[in-house]
């Protein structure tokens, strides 16, 4: 029976970028389990599985709008270098977690200048085309 909304699906997947760089895979751990249509995954991944059946292998290319979205320039900002605690390595690519009155925010250092540090709060895969190789292992139909 084809997989539909509300079904619980188990898959193994490998995610890579257009240049072939692998960014995630479930193949060396437990399969990913999710309920289709609950918004637990990016929309393009859910759409790739819907309508398929256990045993199917799917390769899908997901555009940014169906993945982690476009890069939002408003989520890139600078702080004074003096505001960064001494124990944090000031290197591009370093992930940080900031806290303020609204909660916590994950950011990545993208540039380090003599006076300022540039931080990016976009998801690391925002603005990127994603390619997933998906093996559909199992599906438990939704209770009607």
Q: What pLDDT, in 10s, does the model give residues 75-127? A: 999 999 998 888 888 999 999 998 878 889 999 999 999 999 999 999 999 99
Closest CA to 134 of 5, 25, 22: 25
Nearby residues of 22 by Cβ (< 8 Å), 6 or more positions away: 14, 15, 16
This model's pTM is above 0.95: no
pLDDT digits over 30-72, tens only? 999 999 999 999 999 999 999 999 999 999 999 999 999 999 9
Closest CA to 45 of 32, 29, 55, 28: 32
Q: Residue 51 has which token pair?
A: 């309508």
Distance, CA of 31 to CA of 43 (rounded, Å): 19
User: Residue 137: which pLDDT band, with cuts at 50, 70 and 90?
Assistant: very high
């Amino acid at each position: 029976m084809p997989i539909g909304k509300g079904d619980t699906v188990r898959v193994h997947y490998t995610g890579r970028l257009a240049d072939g760089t692998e960014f995630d895979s479930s193949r060396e751990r437990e399969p990913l389990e999710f309920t289709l249509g609950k918004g637990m995954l990016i929309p393009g991944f859910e759409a790739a599985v819907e309508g398929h059946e256990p045993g199917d292998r799917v390769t899908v290319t997901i555009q940014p709008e169906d993945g982690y979205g476009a890069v939002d320039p408003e989520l890139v900002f600078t702080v004074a270098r003096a505001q960064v605690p001494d124990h944090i390595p000031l290197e591009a690519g370093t992930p940080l977690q900031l806290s303020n009155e609204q909660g916590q925010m994950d950011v990545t250092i993208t540039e380090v200048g003599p006076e300022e540090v540039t931080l990016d709060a976009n998801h690391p895969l925002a603005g990127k085309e994603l390619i997933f190789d998906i093996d559909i292992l199992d599906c438990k139909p939704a209770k009607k």
